[in-house]
Amino acid sequence: MDITFKDLIKLWGTLDNQKEIDLDLPIGRISTDSRTIEKGDFFVPLVGNKFDAHDYLDMAFDLGIQAAVVSEKYNGLVPIGLPHWVVPDTLYAYQQIALLHRRNLNLPVVAVTGSVGKTTTRELIRAILSPLGEIVSSRGNENNDIGVPKTLLSGSETDAAFVLEMGMRGFGQITRLSRVAEPDIAVITNVGQAHIGILGSRENIAKAKSEITSYLSPDGVVIIPFGDYILEKALLEKWSGRIVRVEIEGFSLNWLDCNNEHFAFQDIEPDYISQIDMQNNFILFEGRKFKLPLEGRHNAMNFLLALTVATELGLSIKKLDQLKINMPIGRNRLVDCGQYLVLDETYNASPESVIASLELLVSKPGRHFAVLGTMLELGSESILLHQKVLKKAIELGLTGIVFVSCGEESNIIKKTIKELPNHDVVSNPKDAAMSLLPWLSPGDNILIKGSRKLELEKVLPYLQK
């Protein structure tokens, strides 16, 4: 860590209990977790709904931290002799340190958001950029106010770039993440229905996603799929810099037949147009043919976004056949259960992602079944969106659906799926497996997908037996 005590004095003013510290020395490793503190660390005690790390200041001091930052709202005693700053908000202070570190390193920063495909696109970008050197990327769910600065602080001068995922559940959240990261390239994968129960409309979701441009470099660029005019309108209100639009011929973003007025944007054209051959699993980009590293048309679009990021960074893209994609459990995962092939998409679900997964499911030879679960945070649109998704499943010709319900939509879902040869609505993963198993025969394909709360990964062990 190259940040010095002098750097933080410029941010926060006088250092209390300064003692005989050499202010030109580095502040040490940044720690927010009292369980992993090492001697010489700089401690940032964060405050959550159910915890306050200030309670561990004494322990941290005993372990040898050289300094800390403390909230002005903390009512306890700071250990005597501990050099520290008092600030209004330790989380904001943590983000300030991360931004200072990001500026000192001056590495390219790519930020990724969107309703669907954030993590997949992030991992594809990381893999494609790997020829540049070590790419520091968000891990797991570290896409929030704590995770983004944590990722930035993990970078060093030996690294080549950052790829940061940015999530949100309301207005203002991505603005804060953009502020701490100051990205050079922003990617918005799409604007779907996820969190519509919180934000109220796709228009509001587009505005929230467009916050990624709040602190985007004036010379930077936003990369988006061509044809989402709700997103175009939101960006027009927020961003005056470059926008690069990408398109796959024959690929529609409008999975749910949502209203997407475009009369005001008829003069806009895509900057990159690609073609895909799903049968042979390749994409044509800028005259070159690339093997698709992940199955599904939706993943082809994610790959196209990643290829465009690499092009914008000036990376020569030639051979990408050996990409190493590190997808988290429950995303884009094919599981061979012996007699059955399972598409494990248990991590989470939104209307668009479920439809994309269903389309991938039916591309497999054999019969097709799905264990689906309630999609949460859809608000007043919930029943309508569940019906649209299930009608799409019927249209695609599924042989059977077990639906795990944790909401009021059970009766509507029963009526919607009753025309399938096999159908059931249950309340938990075990009952879902018990309903599904008698229907199955060797060679069948099964999709498992639902909101995180339902823990549908618990269905898998029954299929693996």
Length of the chain: 465
Q: What is the pLDDT of residue 336?
A: 87
Q: How far is 446 from 299, CA to CA, in rounded Å?
A: 19
With a cut of 80, say whether residue 323 has pLDDT above it. no
With a cut of 60, say whether residue 220 has pLDDT above it. yes
Q: What is the pLDDT of residue 448?
A: 96
DSSP calls for 332-373: SEEEE-SS-EEEEETT---HHHHHHHHHHHTTSSS-EEEEEE
**Which helix (H) or strand (E) segment is 11 a member of?**
helix 5-12
Q: Worst-scoring range by mean pLDDT, 236-240, 266-270, 272-276?
A: 266-270
Q: How far is CA 276 from CA 2, 227, 310, 327, 385, in A?
A: 46, 18, 19, 22, 29
| This model's pTM is above 0.85 | yes
Three-state SS at 128: helix
Instruction: Give which of 154, 219, 216 is closest to 187, Cα–Cα.
Output: 216
Which residues have a Cβ under 8 Å from the Cβ of 332 and sit 6 or more positions away? 120, 294, 295, 296, 299, 325, 345
Question: pLDDT category, 367, cuts 50, 70, 90?
Answer: very high
User: How many CB atoms within 10 Å of residue 319?
Assistant: 10
With a cut of 90, say whether residue 407 has pLDDT above it. no
Question: pLDDT category, 260, cuts 50, 70, 90?
Answer: low
**Which residues are known binding-site members?**
114-120
Whether the CA torsion 311, 251, 377, 434 is positive or negative: it is: negative
Q: What is the pLDDT of residue 264?
A: 56
**Which helix (H) or strand (E) segment is 456 a member of?**
none
Question: Are the C-beta atoms of residues 82 and 61 closer than 8 Å to each other?
Answer: yes
Q: What is the pLDDT of residue 270?
A: 93
The DSSP call for residue 52 is: B
**Which residues are known binding-site members for ATP?**
114-120
Question: Are the C-beta atoms of residues 168 and 143 closer than 8 Å to each other?
Answer: no
Which residues have a Cβ under 8 Å from the Cβ of 165 and sit 6 or more positions away? 111, 112, 113, 118, 119, 122, 138, 142, 143
- Give the tens place of pLDDT for each residue, 168-191: 989 999 999 999 999 999 999 999
Q: How far is 447 from 437, CA to CA, in rounded Å?
A: 13
- Give the tens place of pLDDT for each residue, 15-30: 998 877 889 999 999 9
Domain boundary assignment for the chain? 5-87, 107-312, 333-464
Q: How far is C-alpha 203 from the chain's CA centre?
A: 20
Q: Terminal CA-to-CA distance of the chain, rounded, Å?
A: 49
Top pLDDT among 220 and 330 is at 220
Domains 5-87 and 333-464 in one fold: no
- Give the tens place of pLDDT for each residue, 436-449: 999 999 999 999 99
Top pLDDT among 409 and 369 is at 369
Average pLDDT, the chain: 91
Q: How far is 358 from 393, CA to CA, in rounded Å?
A: 7
Q: How far is CA 237 from CA 53, 208, 213, 318, in A?
A: 40, 12, 11, 37
DSSP calls for 215-232: T--TT-EEEEETT-HHHH
Q: Worst-scoring range by mean pLDDT, 67-81, 116-130, 401-415?
A: 401-415
Q: Which CATH superfamily is domain 107-312 in?
A: Mur-like, catalytic domain (3.40.1190.10)
Question: Are the C-beta atoms of residues 324 and 314 closer than 8 Å to each other?
Answer: no
Segments in 13-165 forming alpha helices (H): 57-62, 90-105, 118-129, 147-153
With a cut of 70, say whether residue 134 has pLDDT above it. yes
Fold (CATH) for 5-87: 3.40.1390
With a cut of 60, say whether residue 255 has pLDDT above it. no
Q: What is the pLDDT of residue 261?
A: 57
Q: Worst-scoring range by mean pLDDT, 52-61, 153-162, 248-257?
A: 248-257
Q: What is the pLDDT of residue 21?
A: 85
CATH class of 333-464: alpha beta
Question: pLDDT category, 166, cuts 50, 70, 90?
Answer: very high
The pLDDT > 90 percentage for the chain reads 72
CA–CA–CA angle 185, 190, 191 (5° rounding): 120
Question: pLDDT category, 254, cuts 50, 70, 90?
Answer: low
